[in-house]
A and B are shown apart, each in its own frame.
Chain A
Amino acid sequence: MTISPLESAIRRAHLGLLWGASLLVPGWRRSQWSQEWRTELWYVLRECSCKASARPRSIREATAFCLGAYQDAIWLRRRSWQKQRPLSRVAGSAYVCLLLLIGALLFTWGIAHMSSRVAAGMSRIQVYPRRVSDTGTPCDCPFDLAVGRASFEAARLLFDGFSHYEITQETVWSEKMPRTKWTLAQARSDFFDVLHLPVLFTDGVTRVPDSLPHVVLSQDTWIRNFGRKPNIAGAKLHVGSVDAIVVGVTSGDSMGFPGTAKAWLLGPDPQIASSKLEFVVGHLSRVGYLDDGRWSLSVGGILLGLLVLPFVSRPSIGEYGSQKPSLARRGRFWAFLLAKITISSAIVFYASVDLGCLLVPPFSPSSAYIQATSSAALCLLGLTWAWRDQKHRCPICLRRMAHPVRVGQPSRTFLEWNGTELICERGHILLHVPEVPTSWFGAQRWLCLDGSWRFLFARPNG
Protein backbone atom coordinates (compact mmCIF):
# COMPACT_ATOMS: atom_id res chain seq x y z
CA MET A 1 0.00 0.00 0.00
CA THR A 2 1.43 3.36 -1.00
CA ILE A 3 1.11 6.36 1.27
CA SER A 4 0.69 9.83 -0.17
CA PRO A 5 2.96 12.64 1.13
CA LEU A 6 -0.07 14.25 2.81
CA GLU A 7 -0.95 11.05 4.63
CA SER A 8 2.65 10.63 5.63
CA ALA A 9 2.71 14.17 7.00
CA ILE A 10 -0.51 13.58 8.92
CA ARG A 11 0.87 10.36 10.33
CA ARG A 12 4.01 12.12 11.43
CA ALA A 13 1.88 14.84 13.02
CA HIS A 14 -0.02 12.19 14.95
CA LEU A 15 3.20 10.56 16.08
CA GLY A 16 4.42 14.00 17.08
CA LEU A 17 1.33 14.47 19.22
CA LEU A 18 2.00 11.17 20.94
CA TRP A 19 5.63 12.09 21.45
CA GLY A 20 4.55 15.39 23.04
CA ALA A 21 2.19 13.54 25.37
CA SER A 22 4.90 11.02 26.28
CA LEU A 23 6.93 13.85 27.80
CA LEU A 24 4.27 14.15 30.50
CA VAL A 25 4.53 10.49 31.44
CA PRO A 26 6.90 9.58 34.29
CA GLY A 27 10.21 8.48 32.81
CA TRP A 28 10.13 4.91 34.05
CA ARG A 29 6.86 4.24 32.22
CA ARG A 30 7.47 6.31 29.11
CA SER A 31 8.86 3.63 26.83
CA GLN A 32 6.08 1.13 27.41
CA TRP A 33 3.46 3.86 27.33
CA SER A 34 4.71 5.13 23.96
CA GLN A 35 4.76 1.62 22.56
CA GLU A 36 1.17 1.03 23.60
CA TRP A 37 -0.13 4.29 22.14
CA ARG A 38 1.81 3.94 18.88
CA THR A 39 0.42 0.46 18.48
CA GLU A 40 -3.08 1.62 19.16
CA LEU A 41 -2.61 4.51 16.73
CA TRP A 42 -1.61 2.02 14.06
CA TYR A 43 -4.96 0.27 14.51
CA VAL A 44 -6.83 3.54 14.58
CA LEU A 45 -5.20 4.66 11.34
CA ARG A 46 -5.88 1.30 9.76
CA GLU A 47 -9.51 1.68 10.73
CA CYS A 48 -9.51 5.21 9.37
CA SER A 49 -7.99 4.16 6.08
CA CYS A 50 -10.93 1.79 5.65
CA LYS A 51 -13.22 4.79 5.80
CA ALA A 52 -11.72 6.45 2.75
CA SER A 53 -15.04 8.01 1.90
CA ALA A 54 -14.90 10.18 4.96
CA ARG A 55 -11.24 11.03 5.11
CA PRO A 56 -11.40 14.40 6.91
CA ARG A 57 -13.59 12.83 9.55
CA SER A 58 -11.18 9.93 9.90
CA ILE A 59 -8.29 12.29 10.34
CA ARG A 60 -10.25 14.14 12.99
CA GLU A 61 -10.95 10.88 14.78
CA ALA A 62 -7.30 9.89 14.70
CA THR A 63 -6.32 13.32 15.97
CA ALA A 64 -8.89 13.10 18.74
CA PHE A 65 -7.47 9.72 19.63
CA CYS A 66 -3.97 11.18 19.88
CA LEU A 67 -5.18 14.09 21.95
CA GLY A 68 -6.68 11.58 24.39
CA ALA A 69 -3.11 10.45 25.02
CA TYR A 70 -2.54 13.74 26.84
CA GLN A 71 -5.31 12.95 29.32
CA ASP A 72 -3.78 9.53 29.87
CA ALA A 73 -0.32 11.01 30.32
CA ILE A 74 -1.59 13.65 32.74
CA TRP A 75 -3.43 10.98 34.71
CA LEU A 76 -0.24 8.94 34.99
CA ARG A 77 1.70 11.99 36.08
CA ARG A 78 -0.88 12.84 38.74
CA ARG A 79 -0.93 9.27 39.92
CA SER A 80 2.79 9.39 40.30
CA TRP A 81 2.52 12.56 42.40
CA GLN A 82 -0.21 11.02 44.51
CA LYS A 83 1.99 8.05 45.27
CA GLN A 84 4.76 10.39 46.30
CA ARG A 85 2.36 12.34 48.51
CA PRO A 86 0.53 9.94 50.80
CA LEU A 87 -1.42 12.85 52.31
CA SER A 88 -3.48 13.09 49.13
CA ARG A 89 -5.27 9.93 50.27
CA VAL A 90 -6.70 11.69 53.28
CA ALA A 91 -7.65 14.85 51.39
CA GLY A 92 -11.39 14.19 51.56
CA SER A 93 -11.55 13.27 55.22
CA ALA A 94 -13.38 15.27 57.84
CA TYR A 95 -10.23 15.81 59.88
CA VAL A 96 -8.44 17.41 56.93
CA CYS A 97 -11.45 19.62 56.30
CA LEU A 98 -11.47 20.79 59.92
CA LEU A 99 -7.70 21.24 59.95
CA LEU A 100 -7.86 23.39 56.81
CA LEU A 101 -10.64 25.46 58.33
CA ILE A 102 -8.70 25.92 61.55
CA GLY A 103 -5.65 26.90 59.48
CA ALA A 104 -7.73 29.49 57.63
CA LEU A 105 -9.10 30.72 60.95
CA LEU A 106 -5.61 31.14 62.42
CA PHE A 107 -4.51 32.94 59.27
CA THR A 108 -7.39 35.42 59.29
CA TRP A 109 -7.06 35.83 63.05
CA GLY A 110 -3.36 36.63 62.68
CA ILE A 111 -4.01 39.12 59.90
CA ALA A 112 -6.82 40.71 61.92
CA HIS A 113 -4.64 41.15 64.98
CA MET A 114 -1.74 42.50 62.96
CA SER A 115 -3.95 44.88 61.01
CA SER A 116 -5.62 45.90 64.26
CA ARG A 117 -2.30 47.04 65.63
CA VAL A 118 -1.39 48.68 62.34
CA ALA A 119 -4.73 50.49 62.33
CA ALA A 120 -4.13 51.75 65.84
CA GLY A 121 -0.71 52.95 64.76
CA MET A 122 -2.12 54.66 61.68
CA SER A 123 -4.74 56.29 63.83
CA ARG A 124 -2.00 57.57 66.15
CA ILE A 125 -0.22 59.13 63.20
CA GLN A 126 -3.43 60.68 61.91
CA VAL A 127 -4.83 62.07 65.10
CA TYR A 128 -2.10 62.51 67.61
CA PRO A 129 -0.61 65.02 68.15
CA ARG A 130 -2.73 67.46 66.15
CA ARG A 131 -2.71 71.16 66.23
CA VAL A 132 -6.21 72.31 67.11
CA SER A 133 -5.99 76.02 67.03
CA ASP A 134 -3.48 78.39 65.67
CA THR A 135 -5.06 81.65 66.60
CA GLY A 136 -7.29 80.71 69.47
CA THR A 137 -10.41 80.74 67.37
CA PRO A 138 -11.68 77.18 67.09
CA CYS A 139 -13.11 77.74 63.60
CA ASP A 140 -9.87 79.06 62.28
CA CYS A 141 -8.02 75.77 62.32
CA PRO A 142 -5.21 74.90 59.94
CA PHE A 143 -6.88 71.59 58.97
CA ASP A 144 -10.32 70.65 57.79
CA LEU A 145 -12.42 70.76 60.93
CA ALA A 146 -15.06 68.37 59.58
CA VAL A 147 -12.50 65.76 58.68
CA GLY A 148 -10.69 66.27 61.93
CA ARG A 149 -13.87 65.93 63.95
CA ALA A 150 -14.89 62.79 62.07
CA SER A 151 -11.47 61.40 62.63
CA PHE A 152 -11.69 62.11 66.35
CA GLU A 153 -15.18 60.69 66.59
CA ALA A 154 -14.26 57.54 64.69
CA ALA A 155 -11.24 56.97 66.82
CA ARG A 156 -12.57 58.11 70.16
CA LEU A 157 -13.05 54.59 71.41
CA LEU A 158 -9.36 53.97 71.04
CA PHE A 159 -8.38 56.82 73.35
CA ASP A 160 -8.55 56.55 77.10
CA GLY A 161 -7.45 60.10 77.84
CA PHE A 162 -7.31 63.52 76.28
CA SER A 163 -5.46 66.56 77.47
CA HIS A 164 -4.11 69.75 76.05
CA TYR A 165 -1.27 72.16 76.55
CA GLU A 166 -0.25 75.57 75.33
CA ILE A 167 3.16 76.89 74.47
CA THR A 168 4.35 80.02 76.25
CA GLN A 169 7.59 81.90 76.60
CA GLU A 170 8.58 82.69 80.20
CA THR A 171 11.64 83.90 81.99
CA VAL A 172 12.86 81.28 84.44
CA TRP A 173 15.47 81.62 87.12
CA SER A 174 16.50 80.19 90.47
CA GLU A 175 19.12 80.77 93.12
CA LYS A 176 21.65 78.73 91.15
CA MET A 177 20.46 79.57 87.64
CA PRO A 178 20.49 82.96 85.96
CA ARG A 179 17.41 84.39 84.23
CA THR A 180 16.77 82.52 81.03
CA LYS A 181 13.97 82.64 78.50
CA TRP A 182 12.35 79.21 78.27
CA THR A 183 9.73 77.77 76.02
CA LEU A 184 7.24 76.27 78.41
CA ALA A 185 4.31 73.95 77.88
CA GLN A 186 1.52 74.93 80.21
CA ALA A 187 -0.84 72.09 81.01
CA ARG A 188 -3.25 70.77 83.59
CA SER A 189 -1.77 69.26 86.71
CA ASP A 190 -2.98 65.80 85.70
CA PHE A 191 -1.43 66.01 82.23
CA PHE A 192 1.12 63.23 82.75
CA ASP A 193 -1.33 61.00 84.62
CA VAL A 194 -3.99 61.28 81.91
CA LEU A 195 -1.49 60.52 79.18
CA HIS A 196 0.11 57.71 81.18
CA LEU A 197 3.51 59.33 80.82
CA PRO A 198 6.03 58.50 83.50
CA VAL A 199 7.85 61.26 85.35
CA LEU A 200 11.35 60.39 86.52
CA PHE A 201 13.29 61.36 89.66
CA THR A 202 10.21 62.10 91.74
CA ASP A 203 11.79 61.02 95.07
CA GLY A 204 11.15 64.34 96.77
CA VAL A 205 7.63 64.84 95.48
CA THR A 206 6.00 64.06 98.82
CA ARG A 207 7.61 67.16 100.27
CA VAL A 208 6.33 69.41 97.49
CA PRO A 209 3.50 71.73 98.54
CA ASP A 210 0.40 71.34 96.39
CA SER A 211 -0.34 75.02 96.39
CA LEU A 212 2.53 75.84 94.05
CA PRO A 213 2.54 75.03 90.36
CA HIS A 214 4.69 72.05 89.43
CA VAL A 215 7.40 71.94 86.85
CA VAL A 216 8.50 68.84 84.98
CA LEU A 217 11.79 69.36 83.23
CA SER A 218 12.54 67.94 79.84
CA GLN A 219 15.48 65.58 79.76
CA ASP A 220 17.49 68.05 77.71
CA THR A 221 16.94 70.88 80.20
CA TRP A 222 17.70 68.58 83.12
CA ILE A 223 21.02 67.64 81.54
CA ARG A 224 22.03 71.14 80.36
CA ASN A 225 20.80 73.27 83.23
CA PHE A 226 20.87 70.90 86.19
CA GLY A 227 23.80 68.62 85.35
CA ARG A 228 21.80 65.38 85.60
CA LYS A 229 21.11 66.02 89.29
CA PRO A 230 19.17 62.97 90.50
CA ASN A 231 17.48 64.62 93.51
CA ILE A 232 16.05 67.42 91.43
CA ALA A 233 12.52 67.02 92.79
CA GLY A 234 11.71 69.78 95.23
CA ALA A 235 13.94 72.44 93.65
CA LYS A 236 12.34 75.86 93.50
CA LEU A 237 12.08 77.82 90.27
CA HIS A 238 10.74 81.26 89.49
CA VAL A 239 8.66 81.07 86.35
CA GLY A 240 7.64 84.52 85.21
CA SER A 241 5.75 86.03 88.09
CA VAL A 242 5.05 82.78 89.96
CA ASP A 243 7.05 80.37 92.01
CA ALA A 244 7.03 76.72 91.03
CA ILE A 245 8.48 73.50 92.29
CA VAL A 246 10.30 70.95 90.16
CA VAL A 247 8.64 67.57 90.60
CA GLY A 248 10.63 65.45 88.14
CA VAL A 249 11.97 64.91 84.69
CA THR A 250 10.11 63.71 81.65
CA SER A 251 10.89 60.32 80.22
CA GLY A 252 11.83 59.65 76.63
CA ASP A 253 8.16 59.07 75.81
CA SER A 254 7.44 62.75 76.31
CA MET A 255 9.91 63.86 73.69
CA GLY A 256 8.60 64.76 70.30
CA PHE A 257 5.60 66.76 71.44
CA PRO A 258 5.08 69.77 69.22
CA GLY A 259 6.37 72.99 70.63
CA THR A 260 9.70 71.60 71.88
CA ALA A 261 9.12 72.83 75.42
CA LYS A 262 12.05 72.97 77.79
CA ALA A 263 9.75 72.23 80.72
CA TRP A 264 6.13 71.54 81.59
CA LEU A 265 4.39 73.92 83.92
CA LEU A 266 1.52 72.07 85.54
CA GLY A 267 -1.25 73.93 87.25
CA PRO A 268 -4.92 74.78 86.93
CA ASP A 269 -6.57 74.39 83.52
CA PRO A 270 -4.80 76.89 81.27
CA GLN A 271 -7.02 79.34 79.46
CA ILE A 272 -6.79 79.55 75.71
CA ALA A 273 -5.19 82.77 74.77
CA SER A 274 -5.37 84.11 71.30
CA SER A 275 -1.64 84.57 71.04
CA LYS A 276 -0.68 81.09 72.16
CA LEU A 277 -0.36 77.78 70.46
CA GLU A 278 -2.48 75.04 71.91
CA PHE A 279 -2.22 71.37 71.23
CA VAL A 280 -4.59 68.56 72.01
CA VAL A 281 -3.07 65.20 72.73
CA GLY A 282 -4.75 61.90 73.32
CA HIS A 283 -3.50 58.71 74.84
CA LEU A 284 -4.21 55.68 72.77
CA SER A 285 -5.31 52.77 74.85
CA ARG A 286 -3.50 49.53 74.19
CA VAL A 287 -6.56 48.08 72.54
CA GLY A 288 -6.52 47.81 68.77
CA TYR A 289 -9.03 47.86 65.96
CA LEU A 290 -10.62 44.63 67.13
CA ASP A 291 -11.41 45.88 70.60
CA ASP A 292 -13.06 49.18 69.76
CA GLY A 293 -16.59 47.87 69.45
CA ARG A 294 -16.49 47.19 65.72
CA TRP A 295 -16.97 43.48 66.33
CA SER A 296 -20.70 44.23 66.38
CA LEU A 297 -20.57 45.12 62.66
CA SER A 298 -19.21 41.70 61.76
CA VAL A 299 -21.53 39.89 64.13
CA GLY A 300 -24.48 41.78 62.65
CA GLY A 301 -23.37 40.80 59.15
CA ILE A 302 -23.02 37.16 60.16
CA LEU A 303 -26.49 37.14 61.67
CA LEU A 304 -27.86 38.72 58.49
CA GLY A 305 -26.13 36.01 56.44
CA LEU A 306 -27.67 33.34 58.66
CA LEU A 307 -31.10 34.84 58.13
CA VAL A 308 -30.71 35.02 54.35
CA LEU A 309 -29.21 31.53 54.00
CA PRO A 310 -32.51 29.61 53.79
CA PHE A 311 -33.52 31.78 50.83
CA VAL A 312 -30.40 31.05 48.77
CA SER A 313 -29.69 27.45 49.72
CA ARG A 314 -32.04 24.63 50.50
CA PRO A 315 -31.13 23.48 53.98
CA SER A 316 -31.69 19.77 53.45
CA ILE A 317 -29.26 16.90 53.19
CA GLY A 318 -31.74 14.68 51.39
CA GLU A 319 -33.64 11.53 52.18
CA TYR A 320 -32.46 8.15 53.34
CA GLY A 321 -33.66 4.94 51.77
CA SER A 322 -34.94 2.00 53.77
CA GLN A 323 -31.78 1.95 55.89
CA LYS A 324 -30.64 4.87 57.96
CA PRO A 325 -27.29 5.37 59.67
CA SER A 326 -27.38 4.90 63.42
CA LEU A 327 -28.39 7.77 65.69
CA ALA A 328 -24.82 8.17 66.89
CA ARG A 329 -23.56 8.40 63.30
CA ARG A 330 -26.18 10.96 62.42
CA GLY A 331 -25.28 12.90 65.58
CA ARG A 332 -21.63 12.93 64.51
CA PHE A 333 -22.71 14.07 61.05
CA TRP A 334 -24.59 17.07 62.44
CA ALA A 335 -21.84 17.82 64.94
CA PHE A 336 -19.40 18.02 62.05
CA LEU A 337 -21.70 20.46 60.25
CA LEU A 338 -21.99 22.54 63.41
CA ALA A 339 -18.21 22.60 63.78
CA LYS A 340 -17.82 23.74 60.18
CA ILE A 341 -20.40 26.48 60.59
CA THR A 342 -18.81 27.66 63.83
CA ILE A 343 -15.30 27.80 62.41
CA SER A 344 -16.55 29.33 59.16
CA SER A 345 -18.35 32.05 61.10
CA ALA A 346 -15.18 32.81 63.04
CA ILE A 347 -13.23 32.97 59.77
CA VAL A 348 -15.85 35.31 58.35
CA PHE A 349 -15.61 37.50 61.44
CA TYR A 350 -11.86 37.94 61.21
CA ALA A 351 -11.83 38.12 57.40
CA SER A 352 -14.37 40.96 57.44
CA VAL A 353 -12.24 42.79 59.99
CA ASP A 354 -9.25 42.24 57.70
CA LEU A 355 -11.11 43.64 54.71
CA GLY A 356 -12.49 46.61 56.63
CA CYS A 357 -9.03 47.38 57.89
CA LEU A 358 -6.89 46.72 54.84
CA LEU A 359 -8.97 47.78 51.84
CA VAL A 360 -9.60 51.33 52.99
CA PRO A 361 -8.04 53.56 55.65
CA PRO A 362 -9.08 52.15 59.02
CA PHE A 363 -11.69 54.00 61.06
CA SER A 364 -12.99 55.70 57.93
CA PRO A 365 -16.77 55.42 57.43
CA SER A 366 -16.27 53.18 54.38
CA SER A 367 -14.30 50.70 56.46
CA ALA A 368 -17.39 50.15 58.61
CA TYR A 369 -19.54 49.59 55.52
CA ILE A 370 -17.01 47.20 54.04
CA GLN A 371 -16.76 45.29 57.29
CA ALA A 372 -20.53 44.95 57.63
CA THR A 373 -21.28 44.05 54.01
CA SER A 374 -18.31 41.73 53.60
CA SER A 375 -19.22 39.86 56.77
CA ALA A 376 -22.76 39.29 55.45
CA ALA A 377 -21.53 38.24 51.99
CA LEU A 378 -18.73 36.05 53.31
CA CYS A 379 -21.07 34.49 55.85
CA LEU A 380 -23.48 33.62 53.08
CA LEU A 381 -20.68 32.14 50.99
CA GLY A 382 -19.17 30.28 53.92
CA LEU A 383 -22.44 28.80 55.11
CA THR A 384 -23.50 27.85 51.60
CA TRP A 385 -20.18 26.08 51.16
CA ALA A 386 -20.52 24.36 54.56
CA TRP A 387 -23.98 23.16 53.67
CA ARG A 388 -23.11 21.99 50.16
CA ASP A 389 -20.00 20.26 51.41
CA GLN A 390 -22.09 18.49 54.01
CA LYS A 391 -24.57 17.35 51.39
CA HIS A 392 -21.74 15.51 49.64
CA ARG A 393 -20.24 13.85 52.69
CA CYS A 394 -20.81 10.27 53.66
CA PRO A 395 -22.99 10.33 56.80
CA ILE A 396 -21.07 7.35 58.16
CA CYS A 397 -17.38 8.17 57.69
CA LEU A 398 -17.78 11.90 56.89
CA ARG A 399 -15.49 11.60 53.87
CA ARG A 400 -16.33 13.43 50.67
CA MET A 401 -18.41 11.35 48.29
CA ALA A 402 -16.34 10.52 45.24
CA HIS A 403 -16.44 9.40 41.63
CA PRO A 404 -19.48 11.24 40.34
CA VAL A 405 -21.16 9.46 37.46
CA ARG A 406 -23.78 11.12 35.35
CA VAL A 407 -26.47 8.63 34.48
CA GLY A 408 -29.06 9.32 31.82
CA GLN A 409 -30.12 12.60 30.33
CA PRO A 410 -33.50 14.17 31.02
CA SER A 411 -34.03 14.80 27.31
CA ARG A 412 -33.43 11.16 26.44
CA THR A 413 -34.71 9.19 29.37
CA PHE A 414 -38.05 10.74 30.02
CA LEU A 415 -39.49 9.54 33.32
CA GLU A 416 -36.44 7.37 33.88
CA TRP A 417 -33.84 8.08 36.52
CA ASN A 418 -31.35 10.69 35.49
CA GLY A 419 -28.84 12.53 37.54
CA THR A 420 -25.50 12.05 39.22
CA GLU A 421 -24.44 9.16 41.37
CA LEU A 422 -21.65 9.41 43.87
CA ILE A 423 -20.16 6.72 46.01
CA CYS A 424 -18.32 6.70 49.31
CA GLU A 425 -14.73 5.57 48.75
CA ARG A 426 -15.05 3.33 51.79
CA GLY A 427 -18.19 1.73 50.34
CA HIS A 428 -20.63 2.92 52.98
CA ILE A 429 -23.25 4.66 50.92
CA LEU A 430 -24.43 5.73 47.47
CA LEU A 431 -25.78 9.19 46.78
CA HIS A 432 -28.28 9.88 44.01
CA VAL A 433 -28.61 13.52 43.02
CA PRO A 434 -31.41 14.11 40.50
CA GLU A 435 -30.54 16.31 37.57
CA VAL A 436 -34.08 17.55 37.20
CA PRO A 437 -36.03 17.36 40.45
CA THR A 438 -39.38 15.69 40.00
CA SER A 439 -42.36 15.13 42.23
CA TRP A 440 -41.17 11.57 42.94
CA PHE A 441 -37.46 12.38 43.21
CA GLY A 442 -37.15 15.96 44.36
CA ALA A 443 -34.18 15.83 46.73
CA GLN A 444 -31.00 13.85 46.75
CA ARG A 445 -31.30 10.36 48.16
CA TRP A 446 -28.87 8.25 50.20
CA LEU A 447 -28.68 4.51 49.78
CA CYS A 448 -26.77 2.66 52.49
CA LEU A 449 -24.84 -0.25 50.98
CA ASP A 450 -25.29 -3.59 52.65
CA GLY A 451 -22.57 -6.03 53.59
CA SER A 452 -22.42 -7.62 50.16
CA TRP A 453 -20.55 -4.57 48.83
CA ARG A 454 -17.85 -4.58 51.44
CA PHE A 455 -15.42 -6.91 49.71
CA LEU A 456 -15.04 -4.35 46.92
CA PHE A 457 -13.76 -1.74 49.30
CA ALA A 458 -11.66 -3.90 51.60
CA ARG A 459 -8.20 -2.61 52.27
CA PRO A 460 -5.12 -4.75 51.64
CA ASN A 461 -4.39 -5.06 55.34
CA GLY A 462 -7.96 -5.90 56.06
Chain B
Amino acid sequence: MARDSRLTHNTALILKAIDSGFVYGFSIMEMTGLPSGTIYPAMRRMEEDQLIRSRWERQAIADREQRPPRKYYQLTSTGKATLEASRKRYPLIERMVPNAEAKP
Protein backbone atom coordinates (compact mmCIF):
# COMPACT_ATOMS: atom_id res chain seq x y z
CA MET B 1 0.00 0.00 0.00
CA ALA B 2 1.26 3.43 -0.82
CA ARG B 3 2.52 5.53 2.00
CA ASP B 4 2.07 9.30 1.87
CA SER B 5 1.35 9.13 -1.82
CA ARG B 6 1.86 12.44 -3.50
CA LEU B 7 -0.85 12.62 -6.08
CA THR B 8 0.41 15.69 -7.83
CA HIS B 9 -0.20 16.70 -11.39
CA ASN B 10 3.25 15.43 -12.38
CA THR B 11 2.63 12.11 -10.67
CA ALA B 12 -0.60 11.66 -12.52
CA LEU B 13 1.06 12.62 -15.80
CA ILE B 14 3.89 10.14 -15.35
CA LEU B 15 1.52 7.38 -14.31
CA LYS B 16 -0.54 8.02 -17.38
CA ALA B 17 2.55 8.04 -19.62
CA ILE B 18 3.75 4.71 -18.27
CA ASP B 19 0.29 3.26 -18.58
CA SER B 20 0.18 4.44 -22.18
CA GLY B 21 3.35 2.54 -23.04
CA PHE B 22 6.09 5.08 -22.50
CA VAL B 23 8.03 2.84 -20.20
CA TYR B 24 11.57 4.15 -19.90
CA GLY B 25 12.90 7.41 -18.53
CA PHE B 26 13.78 9.25 -21.72
CA SER B 27 10.52 8.37 -23.48
CA ILE B 28 8.52 9.52 -20.44
CA MET B 29 10.50 12.72 -20.47
CA GLU B 30 9.79 13.29 -24.13
CA MET B 31 6.13 12.45 -23.76
CA THR B 32 5.38 14.61 -20.76
CA GLY B 33 7.68 17.46 -21.69
CA LEU B 34 8.97 17.55 -18.15
CA PRO B 35 12.70 18.09 -17.62
CA SER B 36 14.95 15.28 -16.49
CA GLY B 37 15.44 16.92 -13.13
CA THR B 38 11.72 16.56 -12.48
CA ILE B 39 11.04 13.20 -14.08
CA TYR B 40 13.69 11.06 -12.42
CA PRO B 41 13.19 12.18 -8.81
CA ALA B 42 9.43 11.84 -9.32
CA MET B 43 9.83 8.29 -10.58
CA ARG B 44 12.10 7.37 -7.68
CA ARG B 45 9.50 8.70 -5.27
CA MET B 46 6.77 6.79 -7.03
CA GLU B 47 8.87 3.65 -6.89
CA GLU B 48 9.38 4.18 -3.15
CA ASP B 49 5.63 4.62 -2.81
CA GLN B 50 5.15 1.39 -4.77
CA LEU B 51 3.14 3.05 -7.49
CA ILE B 52 5.59 1.81 -10.14
CA ARG B 53 8.35 -0.76 -10.27
CA SER B 54 11.40 -0.92 -12.47
CA ARG B 55 13.47 -3.67 -14.05
CA TRP B 56 16.57 -3.63 -16.16
CA GLU B 57 16.35 -5.00 -19.65
CA ARG B 58 18.29 -8.20 -20.23
CA GLN B 59 21.78 -7.50 -21.50
CA ALA B 60 21.40 -10.02 -24.32
CA ILE B 61 18.51 -8.14 -25.85
CA ALA B 62 20.34 -4.85 -25.67
CA ASP B 63 23.50 -6.36 -27.12
CA ARG B 64 21.54 -7.79 -30.00
CA GLU B 65 20.28 -4.29 -30.85
CA GLN B 66 23.70 -2.70 -30.18
CA ARG B 67 22.56 -0.32 -27.47
CA PRO B 68 22.82 -0.17 -23.70
CA PRO B 69 20.13 -1.93 -21.68
CA ARG B 70 17.19 0.21 -20.63
CA LYS B 71 15.50 0.49 -17.31
CA TYR B 72 11.82 -0.16 -17.83
CA TYR B 73 9.02 1.01 -15.58
CA GLN B 74 5.57 -0.43 -15.11
CA LEU B 75 2.58 0.33 -12.92
CA THR B 76 1.87 -1.71 -9.83
CA SER B 77 -1.68 -2.49 -8.79
CA THR B 78 -1.54 0.49 -6.43
CA GLY B 79 -0.26 2.61 -9.26
CA LYS B 80 -3.17 1.57 -11.43
CA ALA B 81 -5.62 2.41 -8.66
CA THR B 82 -3.91 5.74 -8.16
CA LEU B 83 -4.12 6.46 -11.85
CA GLU B 84 -7.84 5.74 -11.73
CA ALA B 85 -8.22 8.14 -8.82
CA SER B 86 -6.16 10.79 -10.58
CA ARG B 87 -8.45 10.69 -13.59
CA LYS B 88 -11.16 12.26 -11.42
CA ARG B 89 -8.82 14.98 -10.34
CA TYR B 90 -7.03 15.66 -13.61
CA PRO B 91 -9.44 14.72 -16.38
CA LEU B 92 -7.43 16.55 -19.04
CA ILE B 93 -4.48 14.23 -18.63
CA GLU B 94 -6.35 11.62 -20.64
CA ARG B 95 -6.17 13.91 -23.62
CA MET B 96 -2.60 15.02 -23.00
CA VAL B 97 -0.99 11.58 -23.23
CA PRO B 98 -1.77 9.43 -26.26
CA ASN B 99 -0.96 5.75 -26.36
CA ALA B 100 2.55 4.88 -27.44
CA GLU B 101 2.61 3.74 -31.04
CA ALA B 102 5.06 0.96 -30.45
CA LYS B 103 5.79 -0.57 -27.10
CA PRO B 104 9.26 -2.11 -26.75
Contacts and interface: CB of A to CB of B under 8 A. Distances in A.
Interface of B: 1-10, 24-26, 29-30, 35-41, 44-45, 48, 67-71, 81-82, 85
Contact of B44 (A76, A403, A459): A76
28 contacts: A38-B68, A39-B68, A39-B69, A40-B24, A40-B25, A42-B67, A43-B24, A43-B26, A43-B70, A47-B26, A64-B35, A67-B36, A68-B35, A68-B39, A68-B40, A72-B36, A72-B37, A72-B40, A72-B41, A72-B44, A79-B44, A403-B8, A405-B8, A405-B9, A423-B8, A425-B4, A458-B2, A459-B3
Contacts of B68: 38-39, 42
Interface of A: 36, 38-40, 42-44, 46-47, 64-65, 67-72, 75-76, 79, 402-403, 405-407, 421, 423, 425, 452-453, 455-460
A359 B44 CA distance: 49
A69 B29 CA distance: 13
Contacts, number: 88
B37 A457 contact: no
A36 B3 CA distance: 25
A456 B7 contact: yes
Contacts of B35: 64-65, 68
A72 B69 CA distance: 20
B16 to A, nearest CB: 15
Contact of A457 (B5, B30, B44): B5
B8 to A, nearest CB: 5
Given A40-B25, A47-B26, A455-B1, A402 B36 contact: no
A405 B48 CA distance: 20
Contacts of B24: 40, 43
Contact of B70 (A39, A75, A457): A39
A64 B69 contact: no
Contact of A405 (B5, B10, B36): B10
A71 B38 contact: yes
A428 to B, nearest CB: 13
Among B36, B44, B67, the one with the most A-chain Cβ atoms within 10 Å of its Cβ is: B36
A14 B50 CA distance: 31
Contact of A64 (B6, B36, B41): B36
B81 A455 contact: yes
Contacts of A44: 26
A33 B37 CA distance: 14
Contacts of B10: 405
B15 to A, nearest CB: 12
Given A65-B36, A460-B1, A460-B3, A71 B8 contact: no
A423 B7 CA distance: 8
A38 B69 CA distance: 11
Contact of B37 (A68, A421, A456): A68
A70 B38 CA distance: 11
A333 to B, nearest CB: 22
A462 to B, nearest CB: 9
Among A69, A70, A79, A403, the one with the most B-chain Cβ atoms within 10 Å of its Cβ is: A403
A165 to B, nearest CB: 75
A88 to B, nearest CB: 12
A71 B29 CA distance: 15
B72 to A, nearest CB: 11
A425 B2 CA distance: 12
Contacts of B69: 39
A68 B24 CA distance: 16
Contacts of A65: 29, 35-36
Contacts of A457: 2, 4-5
